[in-house]
Structure 1
Amino acid sequence: MQGGALWVTALALALGTFMQVLDTTVANVSIPTIAGNLGASTDQGTWVITSFAVANGISVPLTGWLMMRFGIVRTFVVAVLAFTVTSLLCGLAWNLSSLVFFRVLQGAASGPMVPGSQALLLLLFPPARKGLALALWSMTTLVAPIMGPMLGGWISDNATWPWIFYINVPIGLFTVAVCWFQLRRRETPTRKLPVDQVGIALLVVWVGALQIALDKGKDEDWFSSPFIVVLSLIAVIGFAAWLIWELTDKHPIVDLSLFKHRNFTFALIPMTLGYAVFFGNVVILPLWMQTQLGYTATWAGLLAAPSGVVAVLVSPLAARFLAKWDARWLTALALAAFAGSYYMRAQLTADAAVMDFVIPQLIQGIAMGTFFVAILTIMLDGIEPPRVPAASGLAIFLRTIAASFATSITTTFWDRREAFHQAHLATGTSVYDAPMQEALNQMHSLGMSDGAALTALNQQMVGQAYLLSSLDYFWISSWLTLFMIALVWLARRPATAGTAHVAAD
């Protein structure tokens, strides 16, 4: 495929990825609005996120089997069509129970979309332009999580919540029409494979238990809750049983033999950890800005936009550099840029100006536009074309689990460090100190009562505690990211300098 047909098809595939990744974050900032309109509490509304994540986490590992059984094109097109229909149903939901049910269906349908779009892009582009294909795919997977909160916040502030899901309908229909018309005669070979029913059942058990435990752990105070303890035990035992089964079964649902490839293993580890740290920052930064710094959901999203714009501009350039440079060097430079952006955030203050938030986002955009293109080049090096969907599905599955861990760990860490810093600040201050007395006198002169003045001072102390907690997280993120650079060099240099050599042999 060449010329305009190639680029229109590539756009459709990219939009398919964009839709799926966008829906992992677009509802986050809209949960209070959705729950209120459906007559539910905010805590109950979080099941809108959890249900999608659980179903998606379970369906992603099935991608390899589905595509070998039915073909990549057919599986991808059907998945996008089902995702589009379920998006419409989500918008039409009449209560929370129906919305959660439709979100489960939407998450299950979305599993093959991201690995399917990646595999088809790599098959469409010639070997010399594999890096460009990966750049296009990476742009959509990186920009969508940042666009999600911004778009969700804008829709919540200016329209009704069902439009969060309705916007998928025209995009989905366009993707289905283009991909089926352009690719139906390019279907990949298929073969009948037995269904690993035991593997699927164990996967549903341990992933479902783990996802629910991670999503509800913070609300239930983690292991002080018998509910979380039971879920954790089910997840651990289920995972151990699933792992043993998958390693011994002749036709496993998840191909764990991919870890025998050195580059796959030592690229997947930093990619998963790097995405976890990145996603944790994506969660905590707008949360801090909205709850403590007075930003609206729309503005918190807008301040995240520069990194997405820069990533879109940088990704094609990174693809060109991959044709000449060792992908490990580009990956290391990208990780260093990530670490630099986190370190700059660790220097923020309570009265930070807008540009103090924007500049780290610009640097992060450079890292985003480079990192995933380069790390995917290393990871897929030497993987046979028929196994690319399985490799991509496994990578996305682990990335999904890592993002769940990151979300739970980040919010728990943030709240507990806030409590620590607040207690530390409280022990070092007293209403009888001269600065406190001066502050109280100023508030009294404004007509505030003692109770109101003390409440205002306490709010300032809480704000400072959350500031210190956020700075702790950014500092840790910076050092963890620097550590990952060493892992990259455990991989071999890709067989072809920079062209994503997935069509080996």
Structure 2
Amino acid sequence: KKSTTRKPIDWWGILFLTAAVGTLQFVLEKGQEEDWFSSTPILVSTIVSVVGFYLFIWRELVTEHPIVNLRVLKNKNLAVGTVLMFILGFGLYGSTFVLPIYTQTSLGWTAFQSGMLMVPSSLATAAMMPVVGTMIQKGIPQKVLACLGMFLFFVYCFWSYGKLTSFSGEGDFFVPLMVRGFGMAFLFIPITTLSLSTLKGPEIGDGASFTGMMRQLGGSFGIALITTYMTRRTQQHRADMLSHITPTDPAFVQRFNGMVHKFTSSGMTPDQAKLSAMKAMDGTVMGQAAIMSYMDVWMLIGVMFLLTIPFIILVVKSPKGKAVVHSAH
């Protein structure tokens, strides 16, 4: 008979990780709604998350059979790859989160129209995946492809930045989104392959779990931080525009009087017409402030990806020879 020894399950590690990730997810999802650390539940959850991650790391380093082998992070390529995956998740999920909000709130599109807008980009990514895999197998350095992907994503963000208006149409986003799709293809496989290229045996599975987890965490952080950033930038832009709306501003006076006349002609009293005109003006200001905040988000993500390129060039070392392509999940 063959004796099989089952490895003990690290229940403490599972408990600490569940507590840490669960409370972190709550903080990221509800932080903006609850005004962050002014809310007791958010503050308590943050403390629990920090303590949970600390205990989880301690547990995984001292136990003989950890559920997550943190020691593989000693591998330089994997450590750098997890950082790049975090940034990729931040930009990928962050931009995917913002675009439908913009199209539905500022352009009045339906959810279906907003979803269909992303289809060509996804098809471009899928079509380029085999091409990128072939390029890696032929010996093209992964960091060269990763830098190209980062640059293409920057181009997409910068291009979209200039396309955001209250009158944009589907045609304005087709080419930028195709660039985004190509950029994603040059990021997923090269970063994953680069991260796992110097690992062996069971370490490959551990490394793959790290890169996947960091991409998801990057997305969670990205959506939470972008939501907060948009809210604050909208408030700032609104305040800046309102500071220029004064009774002595000829453009404001002309437009305001025109709207009052329009509402009066529709049967409103002068007071009602003035109130309606002020509400309409405020709605216009809020709409423009929101669009400007979306522009700020695209510029933020684009600059972040652009600044990552020197980091890849200086820190990452591509393995010699042809690489084995690992799938990105």
Decide: shared fold, TM above 0.5: yes
Give the corresponding residue for 1:102. none
The alignment status of 1:420 with 2:236, answered yes or no, reads yes
Structure scoring higher RCO (CA < 8 A, sep ≥ 6) equals 2
Distance 1:245-1:288 versus aligned 2 partners, 3 A rule: same
The one of 89, 95, 103 equivalent to 1:289 is 103
How far apart are the structure 2 equivalents of 1:302 and 1:274? 22
Deviations along 1:444-470, whole A, 9 cap, x unmatched?
343352222221111110011111111
The one of 321, 324, 327 equivalent to 1:496 is 321
Distance 1:495-1:194 versus aligned 2 partners, 3 A rule: farther
The one of 30, 37, 40 equivalent to 1:216 is 30
The alignment status of 1:267 with 2:84, answered yes or no, reads no
Deviations along 1:300-326, whole A, 9 cap, x unmatched?
111122211111111111111112211
The alignment status of 1:239 with 2:53, answered yes or no, reads yes
- Give the counterpart letter for 2:143 in structure 1: R
- Give the counterpart letter for 1:493 in structure 2: S
How far apart are the structure 2 equivalents of 1:302 and 1:191? 52
- The structural deviation recorded for 1:405 is 0.9
Query: What are the within-5 Å matches in structure 2 for residues 291-370 of structure 1?
Result: 291-324=105-138, 325-348=140-163, 349-370=165-186
How far apart are the structure 2 equivalents of 1:266 and 1:486? 13
8 A contact 1:378–1:500 mirrored in 2: no
- Give the counterpart letter for 1:451 in structure 2: L
- The structural deviation recorded for 1:352 is 2.5
Give the corresponding residue for 1:132. none
How far apart are the structure 2 equivalents of 1:466 and 1:318? 37
The alignment status of 1:402 with 2:218, answered yes or no, reads yes
Deviations along 1:389-439, whole A, 9 cap, x unmatched?
222222222222221111111111101110011011111112442111221
The one of 461, 476, 486 equivalent to 2:285 is 461
Give the corresponding residue for 1:256. 70
How far apart are the structure 2 equivalents of 1:234 and 1:472? 33
8 A contact 1:268–1:395 mirrored in 2: yes
How far apart are the structure 1 equivalents of 2:199 and 2:247? 66
- Give the counterpart letter for 1:437 in structure 2: V
Deviations along 1:51-92, whole A, 9 cap, x unmatched?
xxxxxxxxxxxxxxxxxxxxxxxxxxxxxxxxxxxxxxxxxx
After superposing on structure 2, the runs of 4+ consecutive aligned residues of structure 1 that deviate more than 6 Å are none
Give the corresponding residue for 1:100. none
Q: CA RMSD in A?
A: 1.8
Query: What are the within-5 Å matches in structure 2 for residues 442-453 of structure 1?
Result: 442-447=258-263, 449-453=273-277
Give the corresponding residue for 1:377. 193
Unpaired runs of 5+ in structure 2? 265-272
How far apart are the structure 1 equivalents of 2:211 and 2:125? 21
8 A contact 1:286–1:300 mirrored in 2: yes
Matched length? 313
8 A contact 2:193–2:323 mirrored in 1: yes
Query: What are the within-5 Å matches in structure 2 for residues 119-198 of structure 1?
Result: 192-198=6-12
8 A contact 2:154–2:305 mirrored in 1: yes
How far apart are the structure 2 equivalents of 1:442 and 1:337? 46
How far apart are the structure 2 equivalents of 1:402 and 1:303? 23
Give the corresponding residue for 1:122. none
How far apart are the structure 2 equivalents of 1:192 and 1:383? 25
TM-score, normalized by length of structure 1? 0.59
Percent of aligned positions with the same letter in both sequences? 27
- The structural deviation recorded for 1:244 is 1.5
How far apart are the structure 1 equivalents of 2:27 and 2:326? 39
8 A contact 2:197–2:324 mirrored in 1: no
Give the corresponding residue for 1:471. 295
8 A contact 2:27–2:45 mirrored in 1: yes
8 A contact 2:89–2:216 mirrored in 1: no
The one of 268, 277, 288 equivalent to 2:91 is 277
How far apart are the structure 2 equivalents of 1:497 and 1:352? 45
How far apart are the structure 2 equivalents of 1:223 and 1:452? 37
- The structural deviation recorded for 1:222 is 0.6
8 A contact 2:85–2:218 mirrored in 1: no
